Amino acid sequence: MISLEKVSFGYGEGSSTVRDISFHIEKGEFVAILGANGAGKTTTVKLIDGLLKPTKGKVVINGLDTSKTRVSERARHVGFLFQNPDRQICRNTVREELAFGLETVKKDMSREDIDRRVGEVMESFGFSGDEEPFSLSRGERQRVALASVITVQPEIMILDEPTTGLDYRECSHIMDVISDMNRTMGTTVVMVCHDMEVVMSYARRALVMAGGRLLADGTVRSVFRDTELMLKASLLPPQITELSMRLGKGFENADTVGEMTARICSEMQVRRAGR
Amino acid sequence: MKDLFQYTAGNSVIHRMNPLTKILLAVCICAAGFISDNIFYLLFLLLLDMMIGLAAGVFKKALSILKGLLKVSIFLFILQVLFVRRGTPVFWIITDEGLMLAAKVVLRLIIACIPLALMLAVTQISDLANALVQVLHLPYKYAFTLTTSIRFIPQFMEEMGDIMEAQTARGVEFDTKNGLKKIGLVLPLCVPLLISSVRRTDATAVAAEVRGFELRTTKSGFKKYPFRLIDLAAFLICAALIAGAVLL
User: According to the model, what pLDDT value does residue A268 have?
Assistant: 87
Report the relative pairing of strands A205-210 and A188-192 from DSSP bridges: unpaired
Q: What is the DSSP string of A177-240?
A: HHHHHHHHS--EEEEE-S-HHHHHHH-SEEEEEETTEEEEEEEHHHHHT-HHHHHHTT----HH
Identify the residue with better confidence: A74 or A94.
Answer: A94
What are the boundaries of each domain within chain B?
19-130+224-247, 138-215
Residue A190 pLDDT class (50, 70, 90 cuts) = very high
Which residue in the set B163, B172, B199 is minimally distant from A87, CB to CB? B163
For residue A164, is pLDDT > 90? Answer: no
Residues of A in contact with B199 (CB under 8 A): 86
Do B170 and A75 lie within an 8 Å CB cutoff?
yes
Mean pLDDT in residue range A93-102: 92
pLDDT of residue B1: 55
C-alpha distance from B110 to closest chain A C-alpha (Å): 26
Contact B170 A51 (CB under 8 A): no
pLDDT-wise least confident of A183-192, A214-223, B84-93, B110-119: B84-93
Sort out which chain A residues have CB atoms less than 8 A from B167's CB and list them.
88, 90
The answer to whether the Cβ–Cβ distance between A90 and B171 falls below 8 Å is no
pLDDT at B204: 85
Asked whether the beta carbons of residue A88 and residue B195 sit closer than 8 angstroms, the reply is: no
Query: In the prediction, which pLDDT does A158 show?
Result: 95
| ipTM (interface predicted TM) | 0.82
Environment class of B214 (CB within 10 Å of its CB; exposed 0-12, middle 13-18, buried 19+): exposed
Rounded alpha-carbon distances, angstroms, from residue B231 to B20, B105, B130, B225:
9, 31, 17, 11
Distance from CA of A85 to the nearest CA of B (A): 9
A93 burial (CB, 10 Å; 0-12 / 13-18 / 19+) is middle
Please, which pLDDT band fits residue A69 given cuts at 50, 70 and 90?
confident
Of B170, B189, B199, the CB nearest to A101: B170
Beta bridge partners of A192: A33, A160
pTM for this prediction: 0.78
CA nearest neighbour of A76 among A146, A149, A145, A178: A149
pLDDT at B4: 67
Would you say residue A79 has pLDDT above 90? yes
Say if the Cβ atoms of A105 and B189 lie within 8 Å.
no
CB contact under 8 A, B169 and A80: yes
Distance from CA of A250 to the nearest CA of B (A): 48
d(CA B175, nearest CA chain A) in Å? 7
Q: Which of B159, B170, B173 sits opposite A88 (nearest CB)?
A: B170
> pLDDT category, A18, cuts 50, 70, 90?
very high
What pLDDT is recorded for position A256? 82
Q: What are A's interface residues with B at a Cβ cutoff of 8 A?
A: 46, 49, 51, 70-72, 75-76, 78, 80, 82, 84, 86-92, 100-101, 104-105, 134, 148, 152
Q: B95: which strand partners?
A: B89
So what's the pLDDT on residue A120? 92
Q: Please indicate whether, in this complex, the C-beta atoms of A101 and B188 are within 8 angstroms of each other.
A: no
Q: Write out residues 197-236 of B within 8 Å (CB-CB) of A.
A: 199
Contact B165 A49 (CB under 8 A): no
Please state the length of chain A: 275
Cα B239 from Cα A175, distance rounded (Å): 67
Average confidence (pLDDT) per 10 residues, chain B, 248 residues? 72 89 93 92 92 89 88 90 82 84 92 89 87 86 84 84 88 79 76 82 86 74 82 93 90
pLDDT score at B197: 83
What 3-state DSSP class applies to A6?
strand
User: For position A253, what pLDDT does the model report?
Assistant: 78
What value does the mean pLDDT take over residues A63-83?
Answer: 88
